[in-house]
Amino acid sequence: MDINTFSSGGILLEHRQVLNNVGAQTGAPTRLDISRNSFPSDFIFGVASSAYQIEGGALEGGKGPCTWDTETSKPGRILDGSTANVACDSYHKYQADVDLIHNIGYDAYRFSIAWSRIYPEGVGERPNQEGLDYYNRLIDSLLKSGIKPFITLCHFDLPQALVDKFGGWHGSEIVPAFAAYAETCFKSFGDRVRHWITINEPTIDLAFNAGVSAAMEANEVTRYKAGHNMILAHAHAAKIYREKYQGSSDGVIGISLDIQWFEPLTDSPEDIEASETALAFRGGWFLDPFFRGEYPAAIRKTWGYSLPSFTPEESRIVKGSADFLGVNYYTAYYVTSKPCDGFSNEPAFPVTMPSSVYVGDTKNGVLIGAQTPTGLRACPDGLARLLLFLKSKYGNPLIYITENGYSEKRNPEMTLEESLQDGERTEFFRSHIRSLLEAHKNGVNVRGYFAWTLMDNFEWLWGYGFLFGICYVDFQNNQKRYLKESALWFKKFLQK
Ligand code: BGC
């Protein structure tokens, strides 16, 4: 069977045959059996971060309060009671970040802009010059070191003023507000930045429920409305970029979605259909509008009139508005069509799956992937399978892996030396990049990979209790950064 043809079920079965040997090849943690030279020379390897998680300077430089400043001030909201008021202090130590990235040898850095640094109130006549200056310094420093900036315009942190005014992503007023903010960024940085990501992981609660009152928190109906506003906000920003700023440059604009792989529990047509439905509810919710101009039939069937519709004009603006798809990949699940032990159709996804979809993580007593400290299973094969699925389903779009990473639980008892030993993380990266290579060899149009994340940082509701960094940050000693074993592995991997 030709793996490039998508037919219901066929592609999923074929992936399994093509990729069956991937998992079997995971081995000794630090083995360097692949390198960047296994990929084309223009393939981009980078590392990612986000403004709120690293910058600190919460109320410096004219920054306005954001939704996550609100969340961290709510008693009991953050697991370890911490805030990100200082975090990694990148607002002052951005040069140390650039030096790390350069030292490891990455080609690119994905970071986000704090909207409330540019417009403290979310909207305004004039942007905050100190905010623009900060990002100008960062961009110039990256370019000086030969590192390409990939900018995310909104990574969960919305100006709180917009939530107070109209509910943030819940109000349709957000669409012109986001477009205006995006345009300011294109105008200010577009002469030096070629890669733009409008929104990070729009489908999850951390993005659209932060800063809102308990009464306004999204339910099954309102979250589709918030998602709709995000899709339109992306599309309007992309339209402005293309009409006024893309020009003859090779600049591109896309969006980063968190998508898991859903492996059918068996090869039965029902389980294969359940897998496709699960994928429609996760990625398809946004991807179908971008690549086909409308929501997936499976979501429409389940939610009927509660799901917003695109007017013909909106559909025209939305369809084709993503030059590339950013994929944030962390884990995979099994899926089946019938109730079965250990499987549920109300898993912890933001949206409830229909009654024909049951999700679990174990088959014949074996987990789909190694358990990681945050509870996500590491399933490298799932990355290649997901990429092949996206290729078949959406016409082989340009893809960047914009996040992929491994958590560890903070252990304050460990010495510095011990904290730098992260063999499991190293193995996580090695096996996932190997899977990525497999997908690339099978024709997936993937052109870049970003490790999550540059350094230990503020991990949202977990505070500093779970760490994803390839560099250790000594939060007690002036936020000094140290390379972990995984960073050293990347350094070797990236040597030309
Ligand atoms: C988010 C990051 C986060 C990471 C690990 C992703 O969902 O984009 O901000 O740190 O997952 O939890």
Residue 50, ligand 1, Cβ within 6 A: yes
Nearest to 439 by CA among 256, 292, 261, 251: 261
* Strands 446-452, 399-403: pairing kind: parallel
Residue 468, ligand 1, Cβ within 6 A: yes
Q: How many CB atoms lie within 10 A of CB 99?
A: 14
Classify residue 488 as exposed, middle or buried by CB count within 10 Å of its CB (0-12, 13-18, 19+). Answer: middle
CA torsion, points 79, 100, 401, 238, in degrees to nearest 10?
Answer: 90
Choose one of 47, 452, 455 to mutate for the ligand 1 pocket test, by most ligand atoms within 8 angstroms of C-beta: 452
Residue 157, ligand 1, Cβ within 6 A: no
Q: Which numbered atom of ligand 1 lies nearest the CA of 457?
A: 10
Query: Which stretches of the chain score pLDDT less than 70?
Result: 1-32, 347-350
The range of the structural domain enclosing residue 352 comes to 3-493
Per-residue confidence (pLDDT) for residue 40, from 0 to 100: 97
The set of catalytic residues is: 201, 403
Q: Which numbered atom of ligand 1 lies nearest the CA of 453?
A: 10
Q: Which numbered atom of ligand 1 lies nearest the CA of 200?
A: 8
Number of domains observed in the structure of the chain: 1
Distance CA 139, CA 109 (A): 10
Per-residue model confidence as pLDDT tens digits over 360-395: 999 999 999 999 999 899 999 999 999 999 999 999
Residue 256, ligand 1, Cβ within 6 A: no
CA angle 336, 339, 344 (to 5 degrees): 80
Per-residue confidence (pLDDT) for residue 9, from 0 to 100: 42
Per-residue confidence (pLDDT) for residue 205, from 0 to 100: 86
Per-residue confidence (pLDDT) for residue 27, from 0 to 100: 38
* Residue 426 alpha carbon to ligand 1 centre in Å: 18
Per-residue confidence (pLDDT) for residue 25, from 0 to 100: 34
Q: Which numbered atom of ligand 1 lies nearest the CA of 468?
A: 5
Q: List the structure tokens of 210.
A: 């932060």
pTM, full prediction: 0.94
Going by the DSSP 8-state scheme, the letter that residue 157 receives in this structure is: -
* Residue 403 alpha carbon to ligand 1 centre in Å: 8
Q: Per DSSP, what are the bridge partners of residue 254? A: 197, 324
Per-residue confidence (pLDDT) for residue 18, from 0 to 100: 42
Choose one of 329, 403, 457 to mutate for the ligand 1 pocket test, by most ligand atoms within 8 angstroms of C-beta: 403
Residue 328, ligand 1, Cβ within 6 A: yes
Per-residue confidence (pLDDT) for residue 347, from 0 to 100: 61
* Residue 53 alpha carbon to ligand 1 centre in Å: 9
Residue 260, ligand 1, Cβ within 6 A: no
Question: Could you tell me if 221 and 350 are in contact, meaning their C-beta atoms sit under 8 angstroms apart?
Answer: no
Q: What's CA 386's distance to the chain center, in Å?
A: 15
Residue 116, ligand 1, Cβ within 6 A: no
Distances (CA, A) of 163 to 67, 70, 125, 172: 8, 11, 19, 12
Query: How would DSSP label each residue in 302-343?
Result: HHGGGS----HHHHHHHTT--SEEEEE---EEEEESS--TT-
Per-residue confidence (pLDDT) for residue 14, from 0 to 100: 47
Per-residue model confidence as pLDDT tens digits over 19-72: 443 333 333 344 458 999 999 999 999 999 999 999 999 989 999 999 999 999
* CATH number for the domain that contains residue 244: 3.20.20.80
Q: Which numbered atom of ligand 1 lies nearest the CA of 201?
A: 8
